[in-house]
A = this chain, B = another copy of it.
């Protein structure tokens, strides 16, 4: 037996007990006549002591040869420490070592195994197994485990059944790009890895499973933006005989449960806002509502003067930055430059200082008087001491730019407190979005989303105006989940594929099995999927999903630790009837 206890559990009450411990050498202090070793494992650190008087010479000498990250086993007696360390739970005791065995040596690790390491991202990824030894990384993974377990147990108690759906499925050109898997037994044919188990969970509803969930890997072969992974994990759920309201309540319940159990935070009923409202008020469909800075539209009160920029703009819109008047001219100029970078692309920014005495000083005083500016302040809800930032131009672009500014300022002003949680629902998403490039409609959510019954009449005449029974759950400015009520009859589904530009033959070839299923008594159904990586990172008070994935891939989709992907044998290619052809 390698150990009687782990390194986190011994206390004063265990004094005089004979114990065996195993673990890694975290730290060695060698005073010559005395050696202390901090022994580490997943559960904590226990101090070992070797000394001239009480330890036999050979053991003391061996202790002096230990290096960082050596794996050792010791047997000894628990004794009370002379100088106690109140910072760790085992800090009142130490082990007077009798017997020391080196189980495995270690080369000097390429970075320090400490909470704050000297290792950069690249080297940490290459030696991820060493990175995982560090407390923050390990704790993140354990945190993820806790979240998954809570999710599973909550949903299981609510009657959801965990059903495993297949990973080797069929490629469909709709949506993102699939990863494909050549079939050797069916030569010239390919499986695809699922982007989500969407059609399968719908078929489970047709199959009467009633409530389904799965924590499942999904795959998308996309050019990777920062913090996207080619494989990611979804909490995938579906329910039959439900309306949107049932689904919102169920998953609001789950999220509230997680916030309470995992974070100890009680949240009130989630606010709901329409997609239109979110876009107009926050400039995006996943607003961070931990702070205010709502958009004030200024067209009515800014287009009556000689200021051409505003007069020619589709939209003039501003936000009041709390206590922003303390920004220096230089800081504001820098902010404007930041807004003008190509990533954001604002042409310029008008600002209004709201003085403590209620007067205004703006960058457009030439055009606007105090009375005008007072109206701007009213529309943006600005208070004395604030700074009003105003953008103008094409409505959509301007909103996106102002949203970026709002988030950046909130970050700088410390308004994005990771310990505060502000969930909400965004509802009434458009069913379709027009793609200028391909000159056709795309499904905003996916082709299985049902139009709102009251908008069905617009489906042929004005498809862009049709709203969907689709909803997103937003937490702290991130979309953590989204779903919809699905189409469950063949006719509507056919109409949808038609709108999306599928020929009848294409629709049949790709989704015939689903449309057939709808002819055999498909119940009304709907569902939702959470992005687990994102959810866990936000609950964990961080925004980088990579920190919550054991073995993430880099931005080129590579696992630099195992060096994958990699070339394969000619023999393997031959068996698959494939040739590389670049």
Interface residues of A in 381-437 (CB under 8 A from B): none
Q: Give which listed residue, B130, B520, B557, B559, contacts A127 with CB less than 8 A.
A: B520
Q: Give which listed residue, B106, B180, B513, contacts A182 with CB less than 8 A.
A: B180
Once A191-B565, A566-B189, A576-B180 are accepted as A-B contacts, the answer to whether A164 and B233 lie under 8 Å apart by CB is yes
Chain B residues with Cβ below 8 Å from A582 are 187-188, 577
Once A164-B550, A204-B550, A208-B41 are accepted as A-B contacts, the answer to whether A519 and B183 lie under 8 Å apart by CB is no
Contact B562 A24 (CB under 8 A): no
Once A168-B553, A219-B167, A567-B189 are accepted as A-B contacts, the answer to whether A145 and B161 lie under 8 Å apart by CB is yes
Contact A128 B579 (CB under 8 A): no
0 or 1 for each of A179-193: is its CB under 8 Å from B? (1 = yes): 111111111111111
Interface residues of A in 541-582 (CB under 8 A from B): 549-551, 553, 556-559, 561-569, 572, 575-582
Q: How far is the CB of A170 from chain B (nearest CB, A)?
A: 4
Once A168-B179, A184-B221, A551-B165 are accepted as A-B contacts, the answer to whether A132 and B566 lie under 8 Å apart by CB is no
Known: A166-B231, A179-B181. 16 other contacts (CB 8 A): A41-B208, A130-B206, A133-B208, A138-B207, A138-B208, A149-B153, A164-B233, A164-B550, A168-B565, A169-B562, A170-B562, A180-B576, A185-B223, A199-B562, A577-B581, A577-B582
Contact A106 B520 (CB under 8 A): yes
Contact A161 B141 (CB under 8 A): yes
0 or 1 for each of A510-531: is its CB under 8 Å from B? (1 = yes): 0001000111111110000000
* Alpha-carbon separation in the docked complex, A224 to B167 (Å): 17
Pairs A-B, 7 closest by C-beta atoms = A132-B207, A106-B521, A170-B564, A189-B565, A2-B241, A69-B521, A183-B565
Contact B153 A209 (CB under 8 A): no
The answer to the question of A277 belonging to the interface, with a C-beta cut-off of 8 Å to chain B, is no
Q: How far is the CB of A202 from chain B (nearest CB, A)?
A: 9
* Alpha-carbon separation in the docked complex, A568 to B183 (Å): 12
Contact B559 A169 (CB under 8 A): yes
Among the interface residues A105, A164, A520, A550, which one has the most CB atoms of the partner chain B within 10 A?
Answer: A520
Can you list 24 contacts pairing A with B, beta carbon distance less than 8 Å? A40-B208, A41-B241, A104-B521, A107-B520, A129-B520, A130-B207, A132-B208, A133-B207, A141-B209, A168-B179, A168-B219, A170-B563, A170-B564, A170-B565, A171-B568, A178-B572, A180-B572, A183-B557, A184-B221, A186-B557, A186-B565, A189-B567, A192-B568, A203-B561
* Alpha-carbon separation in the docked complex, A551 to B380 (Å): 55
The answer to the question of A256 belonging to the interface, with a C-beta cut-off of 8 Å to chain B, is no
* Alpha-carbon separation in the docked complex, A523 to B580 (Å): 41
* Alpha-carbon separation in the docked complex, A204 to B105 (Å): 18
Chain B residues with Cβ below 8 Å from A524 are 2, 71, 103-104
Chain B residues with Cβ below 8 Å from A568 are 171, 180, 190, 192
* Alpha-carbon separation in the docked complex, A399 to B173 (Å): 54
Q: Give which listed residue, B141, B200, B513, B575, contacts A563 with CB less than 8 A.
A: B513
Once A190-B567, A200-B551 are accepted as A-B contacts, the answer to whether A521 and B149 lie under 8 Å apart by CB is no
Chain B residues with Cβ below 8 Å from A185 are 221, 223-224, 556-557
* Alpha-carbon separation in the docked complex, A523 to B2 (Å): 10
Chain B residues with Cβ below 8 Å from A148 are 162
Once A190-B567, A520-B127 are accepted as A-B contacts, the answer to whether A181 and B181 lie under 8 Å apart by CB is yes
* Alpha-carbon separation in the docked complex, A399 to B85 (Å): 65
* Alpha-carbon separation in the docked complex, A224 to B186 (Å): 13
Q: Give which listed residue, B41, B199, B207, contacts A128 with CB less than 8 A.
A: B207
The answer to the question of A349 belonging to the interface, with a C-beta cut-off of 8 Å to chain B, is no
Q: How far is the CB of A8 from chain B (nearest CB, A)?
A: 11
Chain A, interface size category, equals: 35 or more
0 or 1 for each of A17-51: is its CB under 8 Å from B? (1 = yes): 00000101000000000000000111100000000
* Alpha-carbon separation in the docked complex, A156 to B148 (Å): 11
Contact A217 B167 (CB under 8 A): yes
Chain B residues with Cβ below 8 Å from A301 are none
Contact B105 A521 (CB under 8 A): yes
Chain B residues with Cβ below 8 Å from A178 are 572
Q: How far is the CB of A47 from chain B (nearest CB, A)?
A: 18
The answer to the question of A463 belonging to the interface, with a C-beta cut-off of 8 Å to chain B, is no
Q: How far is the CB of A9 from chain B (nearest CB, A)?
A: 11
The answer to the question of A210 belonging to the interface, with a C-beta cut-off of 8 Å to chain B, is yes
Q: How far is the CB of A512 from chain B (nearest CB, A)?
A: 8
The answer to the question of A259 belonging to the interface, with a C-beta cut-off of 8 Å to chain B, is no
The answer to the question of A360 belonging to the interface, with a C-beta cut-off of 8 Å to chain B, is no
Chain B residues with Cβ below 8 Å from A107 are 519-520
Q: How far is the CB of A206 from chain B (nearest CB, A)?
A: 4
Contact B170 A566 (CB under 8 A): yes
The answer to the question of A372 belonging to the interface, with a C-beta cut-off of 8 Å to chain B, is no
Q: How far is the CB of A259 from chain B (nearest CB, A)?
A: 20
The answer to the question of A177 belonging to the interface, with a C-beta cut-off of 8 Å to chain B, is yes
The answer to the question of A76 belonging to the interface, with a C-beta cut-off of 8 Å to chain B, is no
Once A104-B488, A203-B129, A550-B204 are accepted as A-B contacts, the answer to whether A513 and B561 lie under 8 Å apart by CB is yes
* Alpha-carbon separation in the docked complex, A186 to B224 (Å): 13
Q: How far is the CB of A136 from chain B (nearest CB, A)?
A: 13
Contact B580 A580 (CB under 8 A): no
CB-based nearest B residue for A6: B210
